[in-house]
Amino acid sequence: MKKTMKALGMLALFCCVMPGNASSAENKPWLFGLLLVGPYNDRGYSQAHYDGGKYVEKTVPGTQMIYIDKVNPADRPGVTVPQLADDMAEKGAKLIIANSDDMKDGIREAALRHPDIYFIHCSGDDVLTGKAPKNLANLFGRMEYGKMIAGFAAAMTTKTGKIGYLGPLVNEETRRLAASSYIGARYAWENVLKKNPDDLKFQVTWIGFWFNIPGVTADPTQVAQNFFNTGYDVVGSGIDTAEAVTVAGQKRKEGKQVWAIPYDYEGACEGGSEVCLGVPYFNWGPGYVRMIKAAMSGNWKSEWLWLGPDWKDINSHDTSTVGFKTGPALAPDAKENLDAFVRNLGEGKVNLFKGPLAYQDGSVFLKDGEIASDQQIWYLPQLLKGMDGQSSAK
């Protein structure tokens, strides 16, 4: 999720119209628009959404995607989300998707401006809070499962017992995802490796945004280097780009036994086979198809969808919103244990958001045996006890 966007100043808009399934004047395409917080080819969060849009074009006859990428204050200062939505509306878009929590206020304003166009906000909670107009819905993936799997892989691999987590900005989403990675790591550490939980160190360091903005954020390359230089041998990532894998690869060439777990995009391990343990990733295609078909057929609902993995095949491109692609660097015995962990999650034999769990300040999150509700997880107010790092921005 991405914090409320300030008014951005007008720049020439970069909007790409991608070839769809129908383009002739006689068969006018059903246009849908995609607003991307980062570059469409970032090999991370935005590219996962872009690929989801391409999946729609292949799957739903007559659809065609247009997109505007780099929708953030650094790349488009002064440009607002409603302005971009106006531009897409003029081009004929019937549905517009905003992929970042930064865009919450802007996409709501755009939906109110254009009551005849459908809007999807990927992340956000306007439907939950009652702020959503009838033409706006929320969609997100239950990445908590992907992060638990990532944390499990990290704990099964670390030799030093020190796991670093490269965090973006601090908000409810990023806290719950970092916490999910931690409880996955702790489960493997205690229940599989049978080690003392006090010997596991899990450090979260936030850079201040979803990707590097020179002069504004902390440099994720430097943060990852600092982890590896101070004894952390596995670094997981919560940012949109692949610095963790890149730096781990550099350190491996220097002779360090280190590993990394990127985020967001299925192909994020490419180029880092010697260090990449795997990647939890979003597969937006099935959710997009579901909602676009509803809009096209007149069955639209203003709903809050938090879609999880398809436990029959978490890597199915047709059915699973959240996946985990095992990396080449994950040892065979660790992979065997990881596969069993995934099966247990899917069968409900393991629930890691079950008490006793405490917040970072020691207060009770979940009592012994208590299972967290969706809203308790979604609105996680702190990191968890046992995690190092800030629970809120200074």
Helix (H) or strand (E) holding 81, with range, is: helix 81-90
DSSP line for 160-193: SSEEEEEE-S-SHHHHHHHHHHHHHHHHIIIIIS
Which token pair is 94?
A: 């019937």
Torsions phi, psi of 272, nearest 5?
-130, 40
Distance CA 296, CA 219 (A): 43
Close Cβ partners of 250 (under 8 Å, ≥ 6 residues apart): none
Instruction: Read off the amino acid at residue 311.
Output: W
Distance CA 243, CA 249 (A): 10
Residues paired with 198 in a beta bridge: none
Which token pair is 329?
A: 């660097």
Cα-based angle 93, 123, 9 (whole degrees, multiple of 5): 60
pLDDT beneath 70: ranges in the chain: 1-26
pTM over 0.85: yes
Q: Residue 233 has what pLDDT?
A: 98
Distance CA 355, CA 377 (A): 13
CB 292 within 8 A of CB 96: no
Q: At what angle do helices 285-297 and 45-59 cross, to 10 degrees?
A: 50
CB 228 within 8 A of CB 248: yes
For 299, half-sphere exposure in the C-beta direction (CA atoms, 13 angstrom radius) is 7
Cis amide leading into 220 (omega within 30): no
CB 134 within 8 A of CB 302: yes
Distance CA 359, CA 357 (A): 7
What pLDDT, in 10s, does the model give residues 151-191?
999 999 999 999 999 999 999 999 999 999 999 999 999 99
Residues paired with 359 in a beta bridge: 384
Surface-to-core class of residue 157, CB atoms within 10 Å of its CB (0-12 exposed, 13-18 middle, 19+ buried): buried
Q: Residue 348 has what pLDDT?
A: 96
Q: Mind listing the domains of the chain with CATH numbers?
A: 15-141+284-307 (3.40.50.2300), 143-281+324-388 (3.40.50.2300)
Q: Of the candidates 243, 233, 121, which has an alpha carbon nearest to the alpha carbon of residue 173?
A: 121
DSSP 25: G
DSSP line for 82-121: HHHHHHHHHTT-SEEEE--GGGHHHHHHHHHH-TTSEEEE
3-state secondary structure 313-334: CCCCCCCCCEEEEECCCCCHHH
Instruction: Read off the amino acid at residue 328.
Output: P
Torsions phi, psi of 174, nearest 5?
-70, -30
CB 102 within 8 A of CB 37: yes
Distance CA 116, CA 157 (A): 52
Surface-to-core class of residue 193, CB atoms within 10 Å of its CB (0-12 exposed, 13-18 middle, 19+ buried): middle
Which token pair is 149?
A: 């799997």
Q: Scanning the structure block, which residue is given the tokens 């999880």?
A: 308
What pLDDT, in 10s, does the model give residues 10-68?
333 444 544 444 444 457 999 999 999 999 999 899 999 999 999 999 999 999 999 99
Which token pair is 203?
A: 């450090």
Torsions phi, psi of 177, nearest 5?
-75, -40
